[in-house]
Amino acid sequence: MNCVFLTGATGFVGTETLARLLERPEREVVALVRAPDAAGARERLLDVLERLGLEEEAGRVHAVAGDVTTPGLGLTDAERYALADRLDAVVHCAASVSFSLGLRESRAINVDGTRRVVELALQAPGLERFVHVSTAYVAGTRPGSFAEDDLDHGHAFRNPYEQSKWEAESLVRRHRELPLTVVRPSIVVGDSQTGWTSAFNVLYHPLQAYARGLVDTIPADPDSIVDVVPVDYVADGILAALEAPEPPATLALVAGEHAPRLVELTDAAARYFDRPPPALEGEPPDGLEAFLPYFTVATAFDDANARALGLQAPRIEEYFDRLMDFAVASRWGKRPAARPSVTARTSPAA
């Protein structure tokens, strides 16, 4: 697979995936970048490569100005046909991960955007693999074990994000002619080896509020499962889905049996910030309401397929301090820091 079409290359997971793709010297990447024209797309992509320390690989990455929310991905018919003829694989990372968008807005990006990427893939005569990045939380509020081949809709969702991602995954699975692997990350945090992140969301918001002394109580279940994985593990999983000779239909990129309970996470934060742990009761703190449903999760994700490929996420206690060191040093994203170069990193242990 020499030519890979990548969506979401300027996003958190997409950026890390782009870096992994460029580790393979023979690979060419075509990245769909939201921009008004080709020059703007190229400029945005070069900014990403600079942050990655991969400017020297610019000749192997081609920016295409477009948008998953626009009919035809914002490309002309001729551009789509020419692109489809080149493609060996598609990695679809583009999505809205906002918990606050309404269902219509979430669907416009996550469902309609996925449909347009599928339409392009179906035009590619040499397509060997389609990797769709979903989420473990297509499980919604279903309690108990959630297997990698589960996708029933007998449960509720916490927010429009989860529902729209469930609908998008259902859409791609209906196209049985696609050489499809769906990857399902859980809550994605920074790099396990460096703590680096470009996206301070989900867990980072309550942790930042707690570090600043703004949160003393959280209405939550101390035994709830907080399934957290580092972004380097997720990118490794996406590359495994792309490159394995016979990948499974689904890879749950989750902590699985290593997922901490909420009380373990709050204890780690208390130790790091040298503060009393928050009481897991009381009223919701202002500004954190969107994240609180993830502190009452009773779903345990099975990751048998991922482990069969040699993938296993590290325990968060092994890298929690590195996450917080980076967050504090970067002032929770206000002082951007370059990502350590790929060549300076080692692969996470399987």
Confidence of residue 347 (pLDDT cuts 50, 70, 90): very low
pLDDT digits (tens, 9 = 90+) for 21-77: 998 888 899 999 999 999 999 999 999 999 888 899 999 999 999 999 999 999 999
Confidence of residue 274 (pLDDT cuts 50, 70, 90): very high
What is the C-alpha separation between 33 and 40, in angstroms, rounded?
9
Domain boundary assignment for the chain: 3-344
Q: Which fold has domain 3-344?
A: Rossmann fold (3.40.50)
pLDDT at 343: 47
Which amino acid, one-letter code, is at 91?
A: V
Q: Tell me the C-alpha to C-alpha distance, in Å, between residue 246 and each of 21, 48, 128, 243, 309.
A: 19, 31, 11, 9, 10
Average pLDDT over residues 129-151: 95
pLDDT at residue 341 tops 70: no
Give DSSP secondary structure letters for 233-252.
Answer: HHHHHHHHHHH-SS--SEEE
Two tokens at 350? 């399987």
pLDDT at residue 269 tops 60: yes
pLDDT at 140: 95
Question: Global pTM?
Answer: 0.94
Which amino acid, one-letter code, is at 69?
A: T
SS3 44: helix
| Contact of 28 with 3, CB cutoff 8 Å | yes
Q: What is the mean pLDDT of the chain?
A: 93
Question: Quick one: which H or E segment has residue 70?
Answer: none
pLDDT at residue 235 tops 80: yes
Share above pLDDT 90 across residues of the chain, in percent, rounded to a whole number: 85
Phi, psi angle pair for 100, to nearest 5°: -100, -10
> What does the DSSP 8-state code read for residue 148?
T
